[in-house]
Amino acid sequence: AQTVTQSQPEMSVQEAETVTLSCTYDTSENNYYLFWYKQPPSRQMILVIRQEAYKQQNATENRFSVNFQKAAKSFSLKISDSQLGDTAMYFCAFKQAGTALIFGKGTTLSVSS
Amino acid sequence: DGGITQSPKYLFRKEGQNVTLSCEQNLNHDAMYWYRQDPGQGLRLIYYSQIVNDFQKGDIAEGYSVSREKKESFPLTVTSAQKNPTAFYLCASSTLAGHSREYGYTFGSGTRLTVV
Protein backbone atom coordinates (compact mmCIF):
# COMPACT_ATOMS: atom_id res chain seq x y z
CA ALA A 1 0.00 0.00 0.00
CA GLN A 2 1.14 3.51 -0.73
CA THR A 3 2.09 5.73 2.17
CA VAL A 4 2.97 9.40 2.51
CA THR A 5 5.23 10.67 5.29
CA GLN A 6 5.69 14.25 6.41
CA SER A 7 8.42 14.23 9.04
CA GLN A 8 8.03 17.83 10.24
CA PRO A 9 4.90 18.29 12.37
CA GLU A 10 5.59 22.01 12.84
CA MET A 11 7.79 24.64 11.24
CA SER A 12 8.18 28.37 11.59
CA VAL A 13 9.68 31.04 9.36
CA GLN A 14 10.00 34.82 9.28
CA GLU A 15 8.31 36.90 6.62
CA ALA A 16 10.27 37.16 3.35
CA GLU A 17 12.38 34.10 4.17
CA THR A 18 12.36 30.76 2.38
CA VAL A 19 11.16 27.53 3.93
CA THR A 20 11.14 23.94 2.69
CA LEU A 21 8.61 21.32 3.76
CA SER A 22 9.57 17.67 3.38
CA CYS A 23 7.54 14.77 2.05
CA THR A 24 8.45 11.21 1.21
CA TYR A 25 6.23 8.50 -0.18
CA ASP A 26 6.33 4.83 -0.83
CA THR A 27 5.02 3.15 -3.96
CA SER A 28 5.99 0.43 -6.39
CA GLU A 29 4.14 2.13 -9.24
CA ASN A 30 5.77 4.20 -11.95
CA ASN A 31 2.90 6.48 -12.98
CA TYR A 32 1.37 8.66 -10.31
CA TYR A 33 0.73 12.22 -9.25
CA LEU A 34 1.82 14.26 -6.27
CA PHE A 35 0.16 17.27 -4.73
CA TRP A 36 0.63 19.85 -2.01
CA TYR A 37 -2.52 21.22 -0.37
CA LYS A 38 -2.78 24.13 2.01
CA GLN A 39 -5.34 24.32 4.84
CA PRO A 40 -5.47 27.79 6.45
CA PRO A 41 -7.28 28.43 9.76
CA SER A 42 -10.57 28.60 7.82
CA ARG A 43 -10.00 24.87 7.16
CA GLN A 44 -10.73 25.23 3.45
CA MET A 45 -8.42 22.94 1.48
CA ILE A 46 -6.59 24.72 -1.32
CA LEU A 47 -4.47 23.08 -4.02
CA VAL A 48 -1.01 24.64 -4.04
CA ILE A 49 0.86 22.66 -6.67
CA ARG A 50 0.81 19.36 -8.54
CA GLN A 51 3.50 17.19 -10.12
CA GLU A 52 3.18 14.40 -12.65
CA ALA A 53 5.66 11.62 -11.93
CA TYR A 54 6.57 11.08 -15.57
CA LYS A 55 7.73 14.69 -15.89
CA GLN A 56 11.30 15.35 -14.83
CA GLN A 57 10.82 19.10 -14.62
CA ASN A 58 9.90 20.38 -11.17
CA ALA A 59 6.55 22.17 -10.97
CA THR A 60 6.43 25.87 -10.06
CA GLU A 61 3.52 28.13 -9.13
CA ASN A 62 4.62 31.69 -8.36
CA ARG A 63 6.40 31.54 -4.96
CA PHE A 64 5.83 27.81 -4.60
CA SER A 65 8.08 25.20 -6.16
CA VAL A 66 8.81 21.55 -5.62
CA ASN A 67 11.92 19.41 -5.61
CA PHE A 68 10.79 16.09 -7.03
CA GLN A 69 13.30 13.27 -6.67
CA LYS A 70 11.62 10.19 -8.14
CA ALA A 71 14.34 7.69 -7.32
CA ALA A 72 14.45 8.86 -3.72
CA LYS A 73 10.63 9.10 -3.58
CA SER A 74 10.89 12.59 -2.23
CA PHE A 75 8.63 15.58 -2.96
CA SER A 76 9.52 18.70 -0.98
CA LEU A 77 7.76 22.07 -1.20
CA LYS A 78 9.73 25.30 -1.18
CA ILE A 79 7.98 28.54 -0.30
CA SER A 80 9.95 31.64 -1.25
CA ASP A 81 9.40 35.14 0.13
CA SER A 82 7.09 33.79 2.85
CA GLN A 83 4.02 35.87 3.66
CA LEU A 84 1.77 35.97 6.73
CA GLY A 85 -1.00 34.48 4.60
CA ASP A 86 1.09 31.37 4.09
CA THR A 87 0.40 30.39 7.70
CA ALA A 88 -1.48 27.11 7.38
CA MET A 89 -1.27 23.38 7.60
CA TYR A 90 0.31 21.85 4.49
CA PHE A 91 -0.51 18.37 3.30
CA CYS A 92 1.45 16.29 0.84
CA ALA A 93 -0.69 13.83 -1.16
CA PHE A 94 -0.18 10.96 -3.58
CA LYS A 95 -2.53 9.65 -6.23
CA GLN A 96 -2.69 7.05 -8.95
CA ALA A 97 -5.26 7.27 -11.70
CA GLY A 98 -8.55 5.73 -10.65
CA THR A 99 -7.79 5.74 -6.94
CA ALA A 100 -8.26 8.21 -4.12
CA LEU A 101 -5.74 10.70 -2.79
CA ILE A 102 -3.57 9.48 0.07
CA PHE A 103 -2.52 12.25 2.44
CA GLY A 104 0.36 12.70 4.82
CA LYS A 105 -0.30 13.85 8.38
CA GLY A 106 0.53 17.44 7.60
CA THR A 107 3.01 20.14 8.59
CA THR A 108 1.83 23.22 10.45
CA LEU A 109 3.67 26.28 9.12
CA SER A 110 3.72 29.53 11.08
CA VAL A 111 4.93 32.71 9.39
CA SER A 112 5.78 35.58 11.70
CA SER A 113 6.60 39.24 11.10
CA ASP B 1 -20.37 29.58 -9.80
CA GLY B 2 -19.58 25.90 -9.70
CA GLY B 3 -18.56 24.40 -6.41
CA ILE B 4 -19.07 21.80 -3.74
CA THR B 5 -21.34 22.45 -0.76
CA GLN B 6 -21.29 20.67 2.56
CA SER B 7 -23.99 21.07 5.16
CA PRO B 8 -24.42 21.63 7.97
CA LYS B 9 -21.25 23.42 9.03
CA TYR B 10 -21.67 22.20 12.61
CA LEU B 11 -23.55 19.09 13.73
CA PHE B 12 -24.17 17.63 17.15
CA ARG B 13 -24.98 14.00 17.69
CA LYS B 14 -26.30 12.24 20.75
CA GLU B 15 -25.01 8.84 21.74
CA GLY B 16 -26.67 6.08 19.70
CA GLN B 17 -27.99 8.42 17.05
CA ASN B 18 -27.42 8.25 13.29
CA VAL B 19 -26.67 11.52 11.51
CA THR B 20 -26.28 12.35 7.83
CA LEU B 21 -23.81 14.85 6.39
CA SER B 22 -24.73 16.38 3.07
CA CYS B 23 -22.38 16.91 0.11
CA GLU B 24 -23.55 18.40 -3.20
CA GLN B 25 -21.50 19.47 -6.22
CA ASN B 26 -22.43 21.26 -9.44
CA LEU B 27 -19.06 20.79 -11.15
CA ASN B 28 -20.23 17.79 -13.17
CA HIS B 29 -17.47 15.77 -11.51
CA ASP B 30 -17.68 12.00 -11.78
CA ALA B 31 -15.92 11.10 -8.55
CA MET B 32 -16.71 12.09 -4.97
CA TYR B 33 -14.90 11.36 -1.72
CA TRP B 34 -15.34 11.57 2.04
CA TYR B 35 -12.41 12.14 4.40
CA ARG B 36 -12.18 12.41 8.14
CA GLN B 37 -9.68 14.80 9.74
CA ASP B 38 -8.46 14.41 13.31
CA PRO B 39 -5.65 16.39 14.95
CA GLY B 40 -2.28 14.91 14.03
CA GLN B 41 -3.85 12.29 11.73
CA GLY B 42 -4.07 14.08 8.43
CA LEU B 43 -6.99 13.18 6.17
CA ARG B 44 -8.16 9.60 6.19
CA LEU B 45 -10.40 8.18 3.47
CA ILE B 46 -13.83 6.91 4.51
CA TYR B 47 -15.58 6.16 1.19
CA TYR B 48 -15.35 7.18 -2.42
CA SER B 49 -17.50 6.85 -5.51
CA GLN B 50 -16.49 7.07 -9.15
CA ILE B 51 -19.89 6.49 -10.69
CA VAL B 52 -23.54 6.67 -9.71
CA ASN B 53 -24.79 3.68 -7.71
CA ASP B 54 -21.27 2.47 -6.99
CA PHE B 55 -18.84 3.24 -4.16
CA GLN B 56 -15.78 1.77 -2.47
CA LYS B 57 -14.67 1.59 1.14
CA GLY B 58 -11.67 3.56 2.24
CA ASP B 59 -9.34 2.91 5.14
CA ILE B 60 -11.80 3.75 7.92
CA ALA B 61 -15.26 2.80 6.58
CA GLU B 62 -16.48 0.99 9.68
CA GLY B 63 -19.41 2.80 11.29
CA TYR B 64 -20.14 4.86 8.18
CA SER B 65 -22.42 4.41 5.17
CA VAL B 66 -22.89 6.31 1.89
CA SER B 67 -25.13 6.39 -1.14
CA ARG B 68 -24.67 7.75 -4.67
CA GLU B 69 -28.10 7.92 -6.27
CA LYS B 70 -27.31 11.10 -8.19
CA LYS B 71 -24.08 12.31 -9.75
CA GLU B 72 -24.31 15.57 -7.81
CA SER B 73 -24.86 14.13 -4.35
CA PHE B 74 -22.84 11.89 -2.01
CA PRO B 75 -24.29 11.92 1.53
CA LEU B 76 -22.43 10.33 4.42
CA THR B 77 -24.27 8.71 7.33
CA VAL B 78 -22.44 8.35 10.62
CA THR B 79 -24.09 5.43 12.36
CA SER B 80 -24.26 4.54 16.04
CA ALA B 81 -21.65 1.85 15.31
CA GLN B 82 -19.02 4.59 14.91
CA LYS B 83 -17.72 4.81 18.46
CA ASN B 84 -15.64 7.95 18.12
CA PRO B 85 -17.33 10.15 15.52
CA THR B 86 -16.21 13.55 16.79
CA ALA B 87 -14.10 14.94 13.94
CA PHE B 88 -13.97 17.30 10.99
CA TYR B 89 -15.40 15.76 7.81
CA LEU B 90 -14.38 16.86 4.34
CA CYS B 91 -16.10 16.04 1.08
CA ALA B 92 -14.32 16.37 -2.25
CA SER B 93 -14.93 15.79 -5.94
CA SER B 94 -12.81 15.32 -9.04
CA THR B 95 -12.99 14.58 -12.72
CA LEU B 96 -12.00 11.22 -14.08
CA ALA B 97 -10.01 12.69 -16.92
CA GLY B 98 -8.35 9.50 -17.93
CA HIS B 99 -5.11 7.84 -17.05
CA SER B 100 -2.95 10.64 -18.35
CA ARG B 101 -4.35 13.44 -16.25
CA GLU B 102 -5.09 13.96 -12.60
CA TYR B 103 -5.95 17.44 -11.49
CA GLY B 104 -6.58 16.88 -7.81
CA TYR B 105 -9.72 17.55 -5.87
CA THR B 106 -12.13 20.36 -5.21
CA PHE B 107 -13.02 20.34 -1.52
CA GLY B 108 -16.09 21.45 0.37
CA SER B 109 -15.77 23.66 3.44
CA GLY B 110 -16.28 20.79 5.85
CA THR B 111 -18.65 19.71 8.64
CA ARG B 112 -17.59 19.65 12.27
CA LEU B 113 -19.38 16.77 14.03
CA THR B 114 -19.45 16.64 17.81
CA VAL B 115 -20.91 13.96 20.05
CA VAL B 116 -22.80 15.39 23.03
Size of interface A-B (CB pairs under 8 A): 56
Q: Across the interface, do A101 and B104 touch by the CB < 8 Å criterion?
A: yes
Mean pLDDT of chain A: 95
For residue B98, pLDDT over 60 is answered with no
Q: What is the pLDDT of residues B11-61, one digit of tens each?
A: 998 988 999 999 999 999 999 999 999 988 899 999 999 999 999 999 999
- Which range has the top average pLDDT, A52-61, B63-72, B92-101? B63-72
The answer for A 36-75 residues in CB contact with B (under 8 A) is: 37, 42-45, 47, 50, 52
Residues B92, B107 contacting (CB under 8 angstroms)? yes
Chain B contact set for A93 (CB, 8 A): 104
Residues B46, A100 contacting (CB under 8 angstroms)? no
Rounded (10°) CA dihedral A82, A108, A95, B48:
-130
For residue B97, pLDDT over 90 is answered with no
CA distance B53 to B102: 23
Nearest residue to A63 (alpha-carbon basis) of A7, A112, A19 = A19
Q: Is residue A91 less than 8 Å (CB to CB) from chain B?
A: yes
Q: Is residue A3 less than 8 Å (CB to CB) from chain B?
A: no
Mean pLDDT of chain B: 92
Q: Across the interface, do A98 and B50 touch by the CB < 8 Å criterion?
A: yes
Q: Across the interface, do B107 and A33 touch by the CB < 8 Å criterion?
A: no
CA distance B105 to B84: 27
Rounded (10°) CA dihedral A92, B88, B27, A77:
-20
Chain B contact set for A102 (CB, 8 A): 45
Q: What is the pLDDT of residues A17-72, one digit of tens each?
A: 999 999 999 999 888 999 999 999 999 999 999 999 988 899 999 999 999 999 99
Task: Identify the residue with better confidence: B95 or A57.
Answer: A57
For residue A101, pLDDT over 80 is answered with yes
